[in-house]
């Protein structure tokens, strides 16, 4: 694994997962079945807004996978954010699938607050394949990340970014959140 630092809040871990591990996750996602992705509207409200986002997704809970991926990533993560220390990965994963013409326009990722002592500050996004055209992750006024199979992109939630339109092929990704716990 090689850590590529873009700035203090954005980095990529190259080859975080092997190609074989990515194939297994893609196959698992296809077995589960995709549905149209919704956009978080505030609170617990979600709505389909095709003008903003038109990809497919699956919400998938897996505590074992969360523990395994967290242990692999932990040595590379920001250990502290203010009064919080790194704790775990959110066990609620989102598989994303983008086909030709699909994208997720410029947005910010929201924080997940598990309780009054635990919340997320960073997005955890694994690219599961690269056999497609387009689909880069572009950070507003900063830089563009080219997805590569098995790479993990980690970034601070408030950064505005977008999943560029897919020109051909299918893009698969797995997303979670890095959870932090308030220090005692």
pLDDT digits (tens, 9 = 90+) for 146-155: 999 999 999 9
Longest Cα–Cα distance in the chain = 50
Q: Where is pLDDT greater, at 35 or 9?
A: 9
Q: 2-37+54-182 has which CATH code?
A: 2.60.120.620
> Do residues 92 and 127 make contact, with C-beta atoms less than 8 angstroms apart?
no
Q: pLDDT by residue (tens digit) across 66-121?
A: 999 999 999 999 999 999 999 999 999 999 998 888 887 778 888 889 999 999 99
Give residue 128's pLDDT.
98
Under 8 Å between Cβ of 15 and 2: yes
Residue 152: name the closest of 7, 50, 29, 15 by CA. 15
Flag whether pLDDT at 53 surpasses 90: no
Q: What does the alpha-carbon distance between residue 45 and residue 155 come to, in Å, rounded to a whole number?
A: 24
Q: Where are the domains of the chain?
A: 2-37+54-182
Query: Which tops the pLDDT comparison, 61 or 44?
Result: 61
CB 57, CB 95: distance < 8 Å:
yes
**In the prediction, which pLDDT does 152 show?**
99
- Phi-psi region at 82: left, alpha or beta (left = phi > 0; alpha = psi -120 to 50): left
DSSP label of 152: E
Exposed, middle or buried by CB within 10 Å (0-12, 13-18, 19+), for 2? exposed
């Amino acid at each position: 694994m090689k850590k590529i630092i873009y700035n203090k809040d954005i980095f990529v871990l190259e080859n975080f997962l092997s190609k074989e591990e990515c194939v297994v996750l893609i196959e698992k996602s296809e077995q589960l079945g995709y549905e149209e992705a919704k956009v978080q509207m505030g609170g617990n409200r979600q709505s389909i807004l095709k003008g903003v986002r038109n990809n497919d997704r699956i919400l998938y809970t897996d505590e074992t996978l969360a523990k395994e991926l967290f242990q692999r990533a932990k040595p590379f993560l920001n250990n502290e954010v203010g009064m919080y220390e790194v704790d775990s990965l959110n066990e609620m994963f989102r598989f994303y699938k983008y086909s030709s013409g699909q994208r997720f326009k410029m947005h910010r990722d929201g924080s997940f607050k598990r309780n009054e002592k635990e919340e997320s500050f960073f997005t955890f996004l694994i690219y599961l394949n690269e056999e497609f055209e387009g689909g880069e992750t572009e950070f507003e006024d900063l830089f563009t990340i080219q997805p590569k199979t098995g790479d993990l992109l980690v970034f601070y939630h408030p950064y505005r970014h977008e999943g560029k339109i897919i020109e051909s092929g299918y893009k698969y990704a797995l997303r979670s959140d890095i959870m932090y716990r308030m220090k005692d």
